[in-house]
Structure 1
């Protein structure tokens, strides 16, 4: 019974204190009626109170939170919002620490005067044709680096060749953007923007040619002989895209060459003024080439065929020093002149139809000389095969 009485007494005291607290805090009233402020404006929240208590104010926005001590003047409780909060746009929440039911929000908007234009433009190069585009993004900001309010007008200006465009776009979600499409010609697009009388600097977008189309190749050479010395030059026609624009300088072109041996040779060149050139040395034996060029993954050429006639149909081989020194020559070209230095001559040594070794030499002043030493080739009968420029001779049963 005594325990129940004590419990009732304590419950009654708690209820009495609760009623007293709510009554005191209920005397605090918000006097400030404004709910929207401009960034940089001095913001003071004012409260009237008959209570002895002067609670602190808890303030929070997207940049952080803080607690503000009050300043009392003529019975009015003033809370000065710090600049770290009043200079930034957004929703600010506040709450009196002593009274959980007394809270609210206010909104800070940006100053409607542009101080800076944060501008992005990319990509810097787009393809001609009207489907590729570069995006201009403009973020106008006030003196406190706040983006301007949505629906603020931004003027986008761009010029290409003889065409000039001026268009207005509205800020949405704190940014304004404009897609700037290419045209069918190549060149430079000049871009700028303006907001509340502040102009950006000039930006540039390069309009480059589109994917190249098929082209034609040709060749040029001094003669059609397989001398292993002269150069054949392959050239493309002027490579263009489907809009007639000459492809960019540096476009890489591969030339693939198939010969009679089913081997594939490759040479390449880069374009200048739409034309790419590549070179290949003549074969050193009779051959036929089939040539085709490609801009990898984009365009290809026609196919051409080249015939290289043999430059040597016969040659002499002189044996001396017990047949261990073999001199091949003179090697003469198509006008009976000495073959240019560097022509490859090979000598293969066989014993009982088994090849023992192949020796190679480069011609010098129309001759090539081989020396067969006794250590590698003991004194026996051998078969010697000499080959150069596609011509071949066999000398059986040569005693060394």
Structure 2
């Protein structure tokens, strides 16, 4: 019985001692960056190399401002190589990377710079038109980029070139925050400024900026007419002097000029014209009665002319009237002009019918061959006594108490 307990105790000690002896299977992890270069030109091949134990193959995580990606390695012995994708390596800026591993990790960053060349010069200019005088300006904006559409580094030299009349200028400017810009001021004269830019022997296309004259200054007007008679037929031509700005530039063709006419009754007329070579002309038909015109012209809101006065003389001294057919057929004429010639067709004649000082009918016609024919309709004017007034060319004739039947 004693031997039985002895052997049981001995077997327990053997089992206990065998469970505490563990084999040592742990392996030392080795992971080290071998690539020293941290700055690369855009578009170049970028390969990051690491020395690593053969038991691990971590994934490389890459990120830049355009996005993120995961890169699997290729192994030759203990060397792991990670090829950075082109969609990341061709864009300038910072690239952040990190090896994803459970035991340990490495991280770092790369700097990708643009190619030292200019493939395209993006050029913008505006406004496309400015005012002469030296205070208004247009802005030239230049963005030089490489063949991968990356902007060049700050302080890249750009030459702004522009030409106006006999002047040619070249101003060096440098990029800041990917752009270079230059304010180009107008000259005192009007004309065209031709603008271009150059960077690293690459030139932009040509741009044109129009330098328009400034706002016009006050001017004078004159009038031309075939005669001074108020015949309601001929035309008076109004003309401005050459309208210029304060820099003595002739205003642009098409500048709108309004001519306002006031007669001695206080009535107003308006005509207008646009400038050609700085001169605007406008037309107005003569009045058909004696009057005086006062004329002034405006470039609305900017400039005005002096005031001129024109007198129009009475063209018809007298006219005849003839009543027939129960006094209901009335012939007015002959209407003769200042040389006793027949007045041109179209002179307006009015016939007004009054009953006891109350106007009851008005008839208006225009002359043909120096005469006007009126017919008083019995349906409108019953047989009775009326007063008839005839007006034309500022003249007036009254026939009182005429009997219609």
Q: TM-score, normalised by structure 2?
A: 0.89
* 1:67 equivalent in structure 2: 70
Structure 1: runs of 5 or more not aligned: 1-19
Confirm or deny that 1:171 pairs with 2:175.
Answer: yes
* 2:256 equivalent in structure 1: 252
Confirm or deny that 1:88 pairs with 2:91.
Answer: yes
- Residue 360 of structure 2 is aligned with which of 347, 356, 361? 356
Alpha-carbon distance, 1:51 to partner: 6.9
SS state of the match for residue 313, structure 2?
A: strand
- Residue 374 of structure 2 is aligned with which of 355, 370, 376? 370
Confirm or deny that 1:132 pairs with 2:132.
Answer: no
Contact kept, 8 Å, 1:385 with 1:394, in 2: the verdict is: yes
- Residue 204 of structure 1 is aligned with which of 200, 205, 208? 208
Write the distance in 2 (CA, Å) between the matches of 1:374 and 1:195.
Answer: 94
Write the distance in 1 (CA, Å) between the matches of 2:348 and 2:196.
Answer: 66
Alpha-carbon distance, 1:127 to partner: 1.4
Write the distance in 2 (CA, Å) between the matches of 1:260 and 1:278.
Answer: 21
Confirm or deny that 1:79 pairs with 2:100.
Answer: no
* 1:44 equivalent in structure 2: 47
Write the distance in 2 (CA, Å) between the matches of 1:261 and 1:97.
Answer: 98
Alpha-carbon distance, 1:35 to partner: 2.2
Q: 1:98 to 1:356 in 2, by over 3 A?
A: farther
- Residue 232 of structure 2 is aligned with which of 222, 228, 236? 228
* 1:7 equivalent in structure 2: none
Q: Could you report, residue by residue, the CA deviation over 1:336-367 in whole angstroms, capped at 9, with x for unpaired residues? A: 11111100001111122221121100001111
Confirm or deny that 1:308 pairs with 2:328.
Answer: no
* 1:385 equivalent in structure 2: 389
Alpha-carbon distance, 1:101 to partner: 6.1
- Correspondences of 1:154-303 after superposition (within 5 Å): 154-303=158-307
SS state of the match for residue 88, structure 2?
A: helix
Give RMSD over aligned pairs: 1.9
Contact kept, 8 Å, 1:225 with 1:311, in 2: the verdict is: yes
Write the distance in 2 (CA, Å) between the matches of 1:330 and 1:104.
Answer: 110
Write the distance in 2 (CA, Å) between the matches of 1:350 and 1:73.
Answer: 123
Alpha-carbon distance, 1:393 to partner: 1.3
Write the distance in 2 (CA, Å) between the matches of 1:357 and 1:33.
Answer: 110
Q: Could you report, residue by residue, the CA deviation over 1:202-244 in whole angstroms, capped at 9, with x for unpaired residues? A: 2222222111111000101111111111101000000111111
Q: 1:285 to 1:106 in 2, by over 3 A?
A: same
Alpha-carbon distance, 1:332 to partner: 1.0
Write the distance in 2 (CA, Å) between the matches of 1:346 and 1:101.
Answer: 109
Aligned length: 378
SS state of the match for residue 205, structure 2?
A: coil
Q: Could you report, residue by residue, the CA deviation over 1:308-328 in whole angstroms, capped at 9, with x for unpaired residues? A: 122123211110100001100
Alpha-carbon distance, 1:52 to partner: 2.9
Contact kept, 8 Å, 1:28 with 1:51, in 2: the verdict is: no
Confirm or deny that 1:340 pairs with 2:335.
Answer: no
- The structure whose Rg is larger is 2
Write the distance in 1 (CA, Å) between the matches of 2:32 and 2:398.
Answer: 120
- Correspondences of 1:319-334 after superposition (within 5 Å): 319-334=323-338
Q: Could you report, residue by residue, the CA deviation over 1:19-61 in whole angstroms, capped at 9, with x for unpaired residues? A: x9xx95xx43333232221101111122232373323222222
Contact kept, 8 Å, 2:54 with 2:78, in 1: the verdict is: no
Write the distance in 2 (CA, Å) between the matches of 1:74 and 1:363.
Answer: 117
Contact kept, 8 Å, 2:54 with 2:77, in 1: the verdict is: no
Alpha-carbon distance, 1:334 to partner: 1.2
Write the distance in 2 (CA, Å) between the matches of 1:390 and 1:98.
Answer: 110
